[in-house]
Amino acid sequence: MNRVEEKKQKPVNNPNRRSDQRWFNFSYANKVTLAFALVAVMTALVAFGVVSFVWQGHFQTYTRENVQRLADNTAAQIATRYAEDESWYNGALRPAEEAVRFSPTVGVQVVSVEEVMLFDSTLDEGTSNMSLAPLDAEAIASAPIIVRDEVVGSVRVWVNGSSTLLTQADQEFRDKSTQAMGFATLLAVLLATLVGTPFARTLVNPINRIARTAQEFGGGDLSARTNLEGEDEIARLGQTFDRMAESVEKDRELEHRLTTDVAHELRTPLMAIQSTVEAMIDGVFEADEERLDTVNSEVQRLSRLVDAILKLSRLENRSTPLKREILDVGELIAGLVATHEAFVHDSGLELHHSFERGVYVYGDPDLIRQATANLISNAVRYTPEGSINISVRHDDELAYIVVTDTGIGLTEEEAKMVFSRFWRADSGRNREAGGLGVGLALVKEIVEQHGGTVTAKGVVNQGSTFTMALPLYNEESRQAARRRTRNESRKVESSFDEAWEEDSI
């Protein structure tokens, strides 16, 4: 065992990976509910941050202004009383005492201009002769006592036990606010969980329906559908799944029909070859030119069938890039009609044509010629009598190759399905006519590889019209075609490299 294999087999204990696995093990509904709760928590954290900012900035400024206003008012009242007899002891300090009684949590000092302590509310408590006023000047609001434009002293106000001048009422308000925010957070998380749970279930129900339908479809029930309706993303996902399921079901039906059709088409010539060869071996028939021609015609029929299937497969797989060149469509189709004119006349039909000259496209001449030949052969096959008309025309953007017949026609439903691979409207009739449903599928693939479209329309028992629309040649279309060719070449090289790597392994 080499080191690479040992490394692959060695278990890796990654705690982050285990936590990721636990998260992914949650149901989608639980994840949505948890997301609701997390959003509520994050909203509360943001609110806490905003409140903290307000408290630290604006609210503290507001409380400082209140204390400063108390200091200013007290100083003004003391100045008025002092001016009456210019004495500190005849009731001039009474406003300081009233301020302390009005706001018990604040401390007040009155100091004369000579720095003599006239009043200190902290000394009135009798606990000591040392003042309890804070030493930090930022924790004190000061206001001068001015009498007749002369400063005679000052008033100092602070909040006991607070360095931010927050009164007890302010602190209680802040604490209550914090408690209210905590309660609001818990309530928000609870409401988010209660609302998120039914919402998550409503959101997850269509997803579960899609998952169940996909499981049923994968289990073999091709009729399983989500039947979701609406315009939201999940409804559109369900509708897309239903369309995909319908397409897969149709493809599966076509595969079943393909198996039956190919088995029948292969069996008929093989049985003819086998019976003829056995008869010649047993001496019942002589190995003459007639018998050998019979075997040869059946072999050629088999070859044509296999060749058509291989061509369609190669086109669909983009295994052979297109050989593009500038083409005059009218001139190209005129040459093709000349080679098919005898074939149409031998079938008892009339051939009419009209070609516009100077209609240029950028494409593969062989494939465009083959697509048109397939439409002509299809028209001859399903036109018992009458005529076939081939025309080339154009408008400002597209060149049109139109093949019209007077045959058995098509219904609207048949016109939608006629280009499907191995599709048959009437298997018995098609088999008698010699078709397998590969030719028109080839036409569609060729036209789409040229960046065009092909359509069919008709009236039952009156005829059908098949129209190939190809982009007109210009420098832009030429560059687009070259890009498609380069992409096809890369896909071919990539598929070859992948196959080579698999073979090497």
3-state secondary structure (DSSP) of residue 462: coil
Q: Cβ contacts of residue 185 below 8 Å, gap of 6+?
A: 40, 41, 44, 47
Angle, to 10 degrees, between the axis of helix 439-449 and the axis of helix 289-317?
Answer: 30
- Amino acid 45 reads L
- Tokens found for residue 13: 């204990």
- Give the DSSP H or E segment for 220: none
Architecture of the structural domain at 233-305: Orthogonal Bundle (1.10)
For 203, counting Cβ atoms within 10 Å of its Cβ (0-12 exposed, 13-18 middle, 19+ buried), the class is middle
Q: How far apart are CA 47 and CA 55, in angstroms?
A: 12
- Average of per-residue pLDDT across 80-99: 86
Q: How far apart are CA 421 and CA 417, in angstroms?
A: 9
Q: State how far the alpha carbon of 103 is from the alpha carbons of 67, 71, 175, 422, in Å.
A: 10, 12, 20, 99
Give the rounded distance of the alpha carbon of 109 from its chain centre.
73
Q: What is the pLDDT of residues 58-82, one digit of tens each?
A: 666 777 788 888 889 989 998 988 8
Q: Any bridge partners for residue 354, and if so which?
A: 391
Q: What is the pLDDT of residues 288-344, one digit of tens each?
A: 887 788 788 778 777 777 777 777 667 766 666 778 899 999 999 999 998 899 889
pLDDT band at 501 (very low <50, low <70, confident <90, very high): very low
The mean pLDDT value of the chain amounts to 78
Q: Cβ contacts of residue 372 below 8 Å, gap of 6+?
A: 333, 336, 390, 401, 403, 468
Q: What is the pLDDT of residues 163-192, one digit of tens each?
A: 555 556 666 776 777 777 777 777 777 777
Whether 393 contacts 329, CB under 8 Å: no
Whether 90 contacts 78, CB under 8 Å: no
Sign of torsion, CA 297 299 305 308?
negative
Counting every residue written for the chain, the total comes to 505
Architecture of the structural domain at 323-502: 2-Layer Sandwich (3.30)
Residue whose entry in the numeric block shows the structure tokens 């302010």: 170
pLDDT at 466: 96
pLDDT at 392: 95
455: alpha, beta or left? (left if phi > 0; alpha if psi -120 to 50): beta
Architecture of the structural domain at 24-124+135-224: 2-Layer Sandwich (3.30)
pLDDT band at 422 (very low <50, low <70, confident <90, very high): low
Q: How far apart are CA 375 and CA 402, in angstroms?
A: 9
Q: Where in the chain is the domain with CATH 3.30.450.20?
A: 24-124+135-224
Q: Where in the chain is the domain with CATH 1.10.287?
A: 233-305
End-to-end distance of the chain based on CA atoms, in angstroms? 17
Q: Where in the chain is the domain with CATH 3.30.565.10?
A: 323-502
Angle, to 10 degrees, between the axis of helix 233-282 and the axis of helix 289-317?
Answer: 160
3-state secondary structure (DSSP) of residue 324: coil
- Tokens found for residue 282: 């047993």
What's 137's DSSP letter? G
pLDDT over 70 at 444, yes or no: yes
Share of the chain above pLDDT 90, in %: 19
